[in-house]
Chains A and B, each alone.
Chain A
Amino acid sequence: MTKTRLFPKPDPTLLVLTSLAGGPKHGYALMKDIEGFSKLTLGPGTVFGCLARLEERGLVRALDPEDRRHPYELTATGLAVLNEQLDELSRVTATSMARLRGGVSTATVPAGGRSDG
């Protein structure tokens, strides 16, 4: 079977928020952290585009610069929004996992018909 992606890649904004939930980071550290837990490499345009959007909405804020670069951290609003997003995702994930473990085998579903059991 060829391995094709059915669902889009995770939203970079969610990845940035998730990374910052582990503590303040600057752009490059963010990219490396995200690469570590999601296997996705975000470019500089994407990372700072996300940070700009999040900062504009008050979800992250820049700390004082260190070595010419600003570290960014989650604000209280950012933390609340991330929690809300993850709650939604975990509900879908939990339902999906429960149904998969519930024993409905896709192999027993005839093409165009219904499962007998």
Chain B
Amino acid sequence: MAEIGPVASGEPVSLLARAAIALYPTWWRDRYGEDQLSFMSDLRHEGRSVARALPNLLAGALRARVSGTGAPALPSLWWSRARASVTLSTLPAMLLLPLMVMATERGFYSSGSGQLSAGQHVAETAGGVLFPVLLATGLVLLLGWRVLVHQARRVPKGGGRVRFEAAMAAPVLALGGALALSWLSSRLSPAGLESAWWYRSPTTHRWVVHETWAPGHPLLGPSLHEAAIVWALVGWTVAAVLVGRACARAPLAPDAIRGGVLVARLTAVCTVVLAGAFSVYALAIALQPWHLIPAGDCASVPPVAALRAFNGCSALTAPAGHVVLTSPLSGAVGWWVALAVAGAVFSVLGARAAGRSMRTAAALES
């Protein structure tokens, strides 16, 4: 018999390598975990770079999770993988939706003269694509959510079902709470949020209605308005995670999981289109030429025209005595685009894994 290999070195394995191996699925670690630890130990013993092996280990963990290669042939395990993959596929869309809605509401600005630059035309076109796709993604998620709740009600009432239904109420609480705060805020502002411009100067908070200062509480209304935005964003994110966990553990019948896989595929397509359109939109806005205005115009009272034309005033990069008017999206475009692309990649991988797991589970059962 040929030599199997050198005797195990017993060299301690770094924490990073252990963490990377911990990212593999449980059944993988049970089967290959010790082998991989020994591999990393031998690598270190021979003075080879452990850091260079880490990306390969991480890619392997992702591959094992997506493909399920080597998983035991148990239908229950594969159905469970399908449920988890549906969650992985739909979660990015649930998290990206509020961010994108916020970005499209605040990111675009016109020059004030009505003339659009080339970049603004591109942003406008991409924004035109974004809106219907955002709507379609929201509808797919809502319909899928409704179907899942309906399917879960067919399961006899037990601890699992109660937790599932409680988690499914989280998005309603998030959106309902945000709407209630928003309504309260509009009641406390002098002329309703639609027609009032809230201007925040470094020293004072003032209301501007129809281009003149108006009386009204300078802080309460706007604070509630911002609280509504924070509630919606944080609440929706928490709700997305709760719904995801509930779906991954819910006692759903195979039919419901098949529906979930369809939702995952549709969501993946929507997320890819969203990420593409959003990247073009955000980059086009970020590449818009800056507008310089005298500092006095930005700080003067009331600067309604400037505020209507632009979304932000920044004195950081402007020559002395001037400020730069720029989109709030410009500074954050890098990570917004990275988030959108990462979300699309996870969504596609999740949808593929869901489809494969469902087919394997069905084949094992038959």
Contact = CB atoms under 8 A, between A and B. Distances in A.
Interface stretch (A50-58, A90-98, A102-110): A50-58
Contact of A22 (B2, B52, B61): B2
Q: Classify the interface of chain A: helix, strand, loop or mixed.
A: helix
Contact of A52 (B2, B8, B32): B32
Contact of A29 (B5, B31, B43): B5
Nearest to B17: A44
B237 to A, nearest CB: 31
Nearest to B10: A67
Contacts of A46: 56, 60
B70 A53 contact: yes
Given A52-B70, A55-B70, A29 B6 contact: yes
Contact of A24 (B4, B28, B63, B64): B4
Given A52-B69, A56-B70, A71 B5 contact: yes
A67 B69 contact: no
A75 B165 CA distance: 50
A22 B2 CA distance: 7
Interface string A34-76: 0000000001111111011101100000000111111100000
Q: Classify the interface of chain B: helix, strand, loop or mixed.
A: helix
B36 A48 contact: yes
B320 interface: no
B94 interface: no
Contact of B34 (A29, A45, A49, A68): A68
Nearest to A22: B2
Contact of A28 (B32, B38, B52, B61): B38
B217 to A, nearest CB: 59
Nearest to A20: B2
Interface string B31-59: 11011111110110000000011011111
Contact of B3 (A23, A56, A68): A23
A51 B57 CA distance: 14
A16 interface: no
Given A67-B7, A67-B38, A48 B2 contact: no
B53 A43 contact: yes
A44 B7 contact: no
Interface string B122-152: 0000000000000000000000000000000
A27 B32 CA distance: 10
B15 interface: no
A45 B38 contact: no
A5 to B, nearest CB: 19
12 contacts: A24-B2, A25-B2, A26-B35, A43-B52, A43-B53, A43-B55, A44-B40, A49-B63, A51-B32, A52-B32, A68-B8, A68-B35
Given A26-B4, A69-B39, 7 more contacts: A32-B5, A43-B55, A44-B56, A49-B69, A52-B70, A67-B7, A67-B8
